[in-house]
Structure 1
Amino acid sequence: MKTTFKHLAFAAASALICSGSAFASGEGWVTDFEAAKKQAAAEKKDLLIDFTGSDWCGWCIKLDEEVFSKDPFKEGVKDKFVLVSLDFPQKPENKAKLGEAAQAQNKELQKKYSVSGFPTIMLCDSEGKPFGQTGYQQGGPEKYVTHLDELRAGKKTRDDAFAAAGKAEGVEKAKQLVAALKAMKLDDDLVSSFYGDIATQIKAADPKDETGFAKAAAAKEKQEAFQKEAMGLMRSKDTDGLVALVDRTLKDEGLDGEAKQQVIMAKASAYAQTGKFDEAMKICDEAVALAPKSEAAPMIESFKGRLAKMKEKAAEAPKETKEKE
């Protein structure tokens, strides 16, 4: 692992920890979340929150080295964001430098923002409500700033839609609220945690579900139930049970193409685990056909390519065994 600026900063400026300055991403970052919100409100800025693992996460280190430590990034965000570093170091000495209070705060915020991978970059308004999320991106600091600006545009669309909804009634109000949620492209758990009241308003304003919002929400609940049951069957290696679950779920008329695409891929994974590579690749083709333009389609094609290589490797294994004999 390369020595990075953030590691040197821990050693050179440890006295600043108590003041709230962070080192995981360099000078100018804040570690106290409540202080960061107050600063953002006072300066009319948003929050850029970096959930990072400074001494173990390779992609976090790359993001620091390639983007956050560069002047074009600092200049590009200085008038837009208060930078917040929430570090999750693993080395005892770095945990000690971070302090117990900061560790407790960071764990609480990790749970609050449903962060499961590192680095996670969460963009929030000064109240701490998320409007965008991202992670490591290739291309350097200038491209990353452009990417952040695109995500910030989602916040403006959100706010404009909320303002329009405040002046509307009935289905039109529901449409504006739905537009606000879609503009942010947040994970479902974040929408549920931070915008649950908006979902309630949409359903009240659109009792006949002309927007399709309630139908989509019901489909997501079914997907979550499927995923929970599917994970249990995978852990118990019950391939037949998993295949049967997939077939039952696909008959549900409440699921659209993309939802069915995700469900059917569980069957492909089950076949792959049991060495049925031809069947798994056939399922991949069926999955792509369900929603060819979905975000998942390219990943499914990539998975199919890996299956082909796994099939080749499995076919070569018996030959290698015979040669050794």
Structure 2
Amino acid sequence: MIHTRAALLSLLCTGISFAAGEGWSTDYEAAKKEAAGSKKSLLIDFTGSDWCGWCIKLNDEVFKHDTFKNGVKDKFVLLELDYPQDKSGQSEALQKQNEELAKKYVVEGFPTILLADEEGRPFAATGYEPGGPGEYVKHLDTLLEKRKARDEGFSSAEKLEGAAKAKALVGVLEGMELSDSMVSTFYVSTIDAIKQADPEDSTGFVKKQAAKERLTKFEGDLNALAEKQDFDGALALIDKTLKEGGMEPEDTQRVSHMRSLVYAEQGKFDEAIKAVDEAMKIAPESEAAVQMDGLRKQLEAMKAHGKPAE
């Protein structure tokens, strides 16, 4: 009995949870420490275990199987960050940790699977993939090569100077195919090195980063106004941002498109449809324009039936 109790206490202390699946940790700091000690990478699963259909599917088709467990045991420390609707099985400390990490990694959907180094810096991102556990292990092995490419790229760039160094570092960042938010959060020192090596910004990277940061701030401010139902304030912010200019056509289109969503939220369908048309004209061949065309049809249908906007 004493040994059993000690074993249970040990599991609690190390963050291993059988609710998360045998071999999965739920403790971020403990997982990073284990990854550093074992020279493995982190596999972080952002999941909604009791509501997210694709998360449940990924767990049932891949994570539960021995083929997966045996295929990753020598390469990854497994970390599950769960966001269930029923949080009764989670401590307040665990919930707080998970919420902070969702913000830190800017998680926008579930499941999100990140591969990261022992410091928690992501180097690859994925999600559900069909094919079962064997194919998923092969998929992860391919993504694991991104860490090798990253580290070798950084090492090679250190031997260069000036614009050549900046170009090499930009190539490394782009090669990981991470979101802009993840790059700006976890690779600050690399971005600083690019700026120092290439003050003239011959790669255009700094300009693009500034534009992305500006767009991120705009969206954050717009969301804050939307939460307060301050529609006039939201429209004023959109107009101000467009008047300031300095954005790429697709970013300008993205900002302009927000006007249609504000009008739709108010049930002003004529204004919303007009705003969609104006936004589509900015970059008619863009992927966003195709999506806007679908929105326009929805707005037409809601206008015809007098339905409020969703």
Query: 2:190 — aligned with what?
Result: 198
Runs (5+) with no aligned partner, structure 1: 1-12, 316-325
- The offset of 1:173, in angstroms, is 0.7
Query: 2:144 — aligned with what?
Result: 152
Return closer, same or farther for 1:265/1:123 CA change in 2, 3 Å cut-off. Answer: same
- The offset of 1:238, in angstroms, is 4.8
Alignment of 1:121-140 (within 5 A): 121-137=113-129, 140=132
Alignment of 1:20-59 (within 5 A): 20-59=15-54
From 107, 119, 141, give the equivalent of 2:111. 119
Q: Which amino acid letter does the alignment assign opposite residue 116 of structure 2?
A: C
Contact 1:49 1:83 in 2 (8 A): yes
Query: 1:319 — aligned with what?
Result: none
Q: Which amino acid letter does the alignment assign opposite residue 27 of structure 1?
A: E
Cα distance in structure 1, aligned partners of 2:30 and 2:225: 45
Matched length: 301
Query: 2:164 — aligned with what?
Result: 172
From 251, 254, 261, give the equivalent of 1:262. 254
Normalization by structure 2: what TM-score? 0.78
Cα distance in structure 2, aligned partners of 1:140 and 1:308: 42
Is the deviation greater in 35-44 or in 264-273? 35-44
Query: 1:209 — aligned with what?
Result: 201
Q: Which amino acid letter does the alignment assign opposite residue 60 of structure 2?
A: E
Cα distance in structure 2, aligned partners of 1:52 and 1:251: 40
Deviation string for 1:243-286 (max 9, x for gaps)?
44334423444200221122012111022223343543454455
- The offset of 1:241, in angstroms, is 4.7
Q: Which amino acid letter does the alignment assign opposite residue 256 of structure 1?
A: E
Query: 2:3 — aligned with what?
Result: none
- The offset of 1:57, in angstroms, is 4.4
Contact 1:51 1:86 in 2 (8 A): yes
Deviation string for 1:209-245 (max 9, x for gaps)?
1111221122123223322443344345454554443
Cα distance in structure 1, aligned partners of 2:96 and 2:285: 42
Q: Which amino acid letter does the alignment assign opposite residue 209 of structure 2?
A: A
SS in 2 for 1:83: strand
Q: Which amino acid letter does the alignment assign opposite residue 85 of structure 1?
A: E
Contact 1:39 1:82 in 2 (8 A): yes
Say yes or no: does 1:303 pair with 2:295. Answer: yes
Query: 1:4 — aligned with what?
Result: none
Contact 1:158 1:179 in 2 (8 A): no
From 53, 58, 61, give the equivalent of 1:63. 58
Contact 1:20 1:30 in 2 (8 A): yes
Normalization by structure 1: what TM-score? 0.75
Is the deviation greater in 173-182 or in 115-124? 115-124
From 72, 81, 87, give the equivalent of 1:86. 81
Runs (5+) with no aligned partner, structure 2: 1-6
Is the deviation greater in 193-202 or in 239-248? 239-248
Cα distance in structure 2, aligned partners of 1:78 and 1:298: 43
Cα distance in structure 1, aligned partners of 2:286 and 2:134: 28
From 292, 301, 314, give the equivalent of 2:306. 314
- The offset of 1:291, in angstroms, is 4.5
Cα distance in structure 1, aligned partners of 2:273 and 2:57: 34
Deviation string for 1:83-140 (max 9, x for gaps)?
1123345546512xxx565455445544443446543322101232111234445565
Is the deviation greater in 13-22 or in 114-123? 13-22
Q: Which amino acid letter does the alignment assign opposite residue 33 of structure 1?
A: Y
Cα distance in structure 1, aligned partners of 2:270 and 2:142: 41
Return closer, same or farther for 1:157/1:103 CA change in 2, 3 Å cut-off. Answer: same
Contact 2:14 2:30 in 1 (8 A): no
Return closer, same or farther for 1:301/1:148 CA change in 2, 3 Å cut-off. Answer: farther
